Structure 1
Amino acid sequence: MKNRTRQLVTTGLVTSTLSILIGGFAVWGSHQSEISMVDKRLDRVENDIRTNPLDAVSIALLSIEQNNFDFTLAFSTPNGEVTILRESSGTLLEGEDLRVRHIAIPEGDELILASSIVDINRALNRNLWKLLIFIIFANIFASIVYSLLSRSNALAQERAQRQKMQEFLGDAAHELRTPMTVVKGYAELLKGKQLDPERESAAFDRLNSELKRMDFLIGDLLMLAQLGEEGNIDFEEIDIAELMRENVLDFQEISPTHPVTSHIDESAVLVGSQKYLQRFIQNALTNIRLHTPPSSSVRVTVRAEKQIVIVIEDSGPGLPTASYGEKIRGLKRFDRSRSRDTGGTGLGMSIMNAVIERHKGVFTLRKSELGGLAIEVQLPRA
């Protein structure tokens, strides 16, 4: 609600600013143009007077009459006496809304030319009021348009979120169906109590194994659901270089047979969720530990360029060729047998992709120069 109010106020400010700049420029430009026109007329009469200063009064009266100018003409003596020779329809010499010329003539006298700009100033005031009314209506119109667009966008987001949730629920149901079937089968088998002790113990072990797998699977599904929701993750400034070093050290302790080379830029800092970025790195390194030969080489790179670039690659068997460059959608699995062999849920890639998408990054799978899989990520810098 606060965000919507802030956006509405911003829309009003932008609309008002543009209206004032454009409308104000037009109104003031028109006003100045009319003032300039009055000045040009005064200049014309003044120039005519200067052509024959000895007969200045006659020339001035003739020029005003011939050009049909609505000017006041006055004669002023050196001692300050002023005589009105011609008076316009609305000009008073003591008025404020005047454009005036003082023209010196022989013997210390001067002619005073004056033109009223009362009507011009009134027109300016009227136009300013019109501009104010226009700004009010423009803001009302902009608010209505913004509200309609916001509502349309909100409905579109709601539909997209609902469709995404339906797809997720469908994928989740599909993922849970296999372990549920296994659990149900063994439960029925144990219920009959027709197994000898050895087979019964093996059945209980298998049942326990599937229940643990379901627990892991549900945990991964919940994480994917959380990553798919808006506004429920706290972001902070993270030293991704330090986070990567810590995880590489942990990996070397757990899997000392994997030779690891790391190139980590110390200035790599971004804004994100440490919890989920930690999970991303752990998933990538765990995949290497579980799905590559013990002696496979590992290379970890973190570069601080225009964006933060992270590459985690290995010399293992990699993925099927068709999988490189393929976009991960939903609960994507590249090799179902790998999760069965290692006891995983098979959702590691989907979680990694979801983490990076939530951080407005780009997640790419490609063939590594080492021969195996390279996971490359681009994330915005802090």
Structure 2
Amino acid sequence: MKNRTRQVLASVTVTSLLSILIGGFAVWGSYNTEISIVDNHMETVITDIYSNPSDAITSALLSLDQNSFDFTLAFKTQEGALTILKESQSAIIGSNSHMIQREIGIESGEKLIIAASLTDIDRSLKKNLLGLLIFIIFANAIASYISILISRAGALSLERSQREKMQEFLGDAAHELRTPLTVVKGYTELLEGKQLDSKNQDLAFSRLKSEIKRMESLIGDLLILAELGEQNIVDTEVFDLSALLHENVIDFQTLSPNRKVKIDIEGEIYLNGSEKYMRRFIQNALTNIRIHTNDNVPVTVTLHGGKHAYLIIEDGGPGLPADSYGEKIQGLKRFDRSRSRETGGSGLGMSIMSAVIEWHQGDLTLSKSTLGGLAIEVTLSTNV
């Protein structure tokens, strides 16, 4: 078997396993969460029934109406005769539809039956599984494409360098995903063990959703970093950096109307590169300022042209740790891990920004701003 074929097969295998592991875990966790929510809603109705056993039917109907639960409620006599008291269009007792059904004994041996349809949840599961399948196919296509590109590189030194980068990236990615996966696993085990009361269950579900959202953000950023690592995967274009920067600064001022923003943007500075990537760079820089500094912190945005474009985005916030200025951003670098936990992001914004400038063959420097905070200084070639 040729080296190229082995590389493609290995990449497809690893990509498939990682995608199935991470995506399958997220899909299954989401499905179980939705089922548990339905169970909790049923428990709410049952609790209301037991709180007034002398008038169980009225209590059940009131609970369904007040909580807007789309459940079917039926009354069953000792002889087995069934009377529908409230019927959901999606949960029809006796039909073949997938549903959860609970029986509650009341006085004189009679029973109340509560039924909830799982059709929407099943539909959501199928949709998520289809999305996962499409993602796996797409990821495998990218992995195969990257493997072929690497195999065609020719030079042994370049091939070795690419392999080392891939190993480092996979190691960093696995490390970054380990924490949210551990949190999701822990809360799932607590919920499966029914060790939490109703209040703490709601908190656990909220935490699960938060971690799943964080994983989605993290995976998205990891994919961007992987894409940026391949120099030729995106076609270049000539675009107006001045207009792009001005547009994003206006958006920033709209979201932070109380900030004092000084703008010094020279017009008609064009770059040959990726407008999509540069937009992401600018948005990351301004979003970091908006999220991690106070509303009264001043901001200065400067862009001057010539043989090179010189871009500086600086603020008067707390800045970075003293030993981080002038440091080259390598791998999945984070300067403050608490930031991602507080804001729900992946914490890889700086790594993406550095990768964008490296993709454009520019220089990125982090320095202490004259305003007191962080100054992001970028130099890019304007040869178009």
Q: How does 1:64-213 map to 2 (within 5 A)?
A: 154-213=155-214
For 2:215 and 2:238, how far apart are their aligned partners in 1? 34
Measure how far apart 1:258 and its partner are.
Answer: 1.7
For residues 306 and 293 of structure 2, the distance between their equivalents in structure 1, rounded to whole angstroms, comes to: 30
SS in 1 for 2:361: coil
The structural deviation recorded for 1:152 is: 9.2
- Supply the distance in 2 between the matched residues of 1:167 and 1:279 (Cα, whole angstroms): 24
Alignment of 1:359 with 2:360, yes or no, is: yes
- Paired residue for 2:244? 243
Tell me the CA shift for residue 342 of structure 1: 1.6
Structure-2 separation of matches of 1:326 and 1:337: 20
Partner of 1:296, secondary structure, is: coil
| CA deviation after TM superposition for structure 1 residue 256, in Å | 1.2
Q: Which residue of 2 aligns with 1:378?
A: 379
Q: Is the 8 A contact 2:238 2:270 kept in 1?
A: yes
Which segments of structure 1 move beyond 6 Å, counting only runs of 4 or more? Answer: none
Instruction: Return the alpha-carbon distance in structure 1 between the equivalents of residues 341 and 370 of structure 2.
Output: 28
Contact residue 153 and residue 159 of structure 2 kept, 8 A: no
Q: Which residue pairs with 1:308 in the alignment?
A: 309
Counterpart residue number, 1:286: 287
Identify the residue that residue 224 of structure 2 maps to in structure 1.
223
2:245–2:282 Cα contact (<8 Å) kept = yes
Task: Provide the C-alpha distance between the structure 2 equivalents of 1:353 and 1:238, rounded to a whole number of angstroms.
Answer: 20
User: How far, CA to CA, are the matches of 2:349 and 2:195 in structure 1?
Assistant: 39
Please report the TM-score for the alignment, with normalisation by the length of structure 1.
0.60
Once residues 188 and 194 of structure 1 are traced to their aligned partners in structure 2, the CA distance between those partners, rounded to angstroms, is 9
The alpha-carbon deviation at position 153 of structure 1 amounts to 5.9
C-alpha distance in 1, partners of 2:352/2:295?
24
Partner deviation per Cα, 1:17-42 (whole Å, 9 max, x = no partner): xxxxxxxxxxxxxxxxxxxxxxxxxx
Is 1:260 aligned with 2:261? yes
Inter-CA distance 306–295: structure 2 relative to 1 (3 Å threshold): same
The aligned counterpart of 1:277 is: 278
Q: Give the C-alpha shift of residue 231 in structure 1.
A: 1.1
Q: For the residues of structure 2 that align with 1:295 and 1:192, how far apart are their CA atoms?
A: 48
State the SS of the aligned residue for 2:358: helix
Q: Is the 8 A contact 2:227 2:233 kept in 1?
A: yes
The aligned counterpart of 2:322 is 321
Secondary structure class of the residue paired with 2:155: helix
SS of 2:286's equivalent in the other structure is helix
Q: Match for 1:350: what amino acid?
A: S
- For 1:379 and 1:373, the matched residues in 2 are separated by 20
Q: Distance in 1 between matches of 2:194 and 2:287?
A: 40
Query: What is the Cα deviation at residue 305 of structure 1?
Result: 2.2
Q: What is aligned with 1:342?
A: 343
Q: Is the 8 A contact 2:259 2:297 kept in 1?
A: yes
Letter in 2 for 1:224: L
* Residues 203/159 of structure 1: CA separation in 2 closer, same or farther (3 Å cut): same
Unaligned runs of 5+ residues in structure 2 are 1-151
Q: How many Å separate the matches in 2 of 1:152 and 1:215?
A: 32
- Across the aligned residues of Structure 1 and Structure 2, the Cα RMSD in angstroms comes to 1.5
Question: For residues 165-220 of structure 1, what are the alpha-carbon distances to aligned partners after superposition, in whole Å with 9 as ceiling and x for unaligned?
Answer: 00000000000011011000001011112211111011000000000000000000
Tell me how far apart the structure 2 counterparts of residues 267 and 238 of structure 1 sit (CA, whole Å). Answer: 9
Q: What are the superposed Cα offsets for residues 71-90 of structure 1, whole Å, 9 maximum, x if unpaired?
A: xxxxxxxxxxxxxxxxxxxx
Give the distance between the partners of 2:195 and 2:178, measured in 1 at CA. Answer: 26
Q: Which amino acid aligns with 1:269?
A: Y
Report the secondary structure of 1:356's partner residue.
helix
CA distance in 1, matches of 2:337, 2:296: 24
How much does 1:344 deviate?
Answer: 1.5
Q: CA deviation at 1:154?
A: 2.1
Superimposed CA distance per residue, residues 41-75 of structure 1 (whole angstroms, 9 cap, x where no aligned partner):
xxxxxxxxxxxxxxxxxxxxxxxxxxxxxxxxxxx
Partner of 1:147: none
C-alpha separation in 1, matches of 2:318 and 2:357: 24
- AA at the equivalent of 2:189: E
Larger Cα-atom Rg: 1
Could you say what secondary structure the match of 1:330 adopts?
A: coil
Structure 1 CA distance, aligned partners of 2:272 and 2:351? 21
Question: Percent identity of the aligned residues?
Answer: 63
TM-score with structure 2 setting the length = 0.59
Q: Give 1:230 shift.
A: 3.0
**Alpha-carbon distance in 2 for matches of 1:230, 1:379:** 16
**Amino acid corresponding to residue 364 of structure 1 in structure 2:** T
Match of 1:141 in 2: none
| Partner Cα distance (2:347, 2:224) in 1 | 14
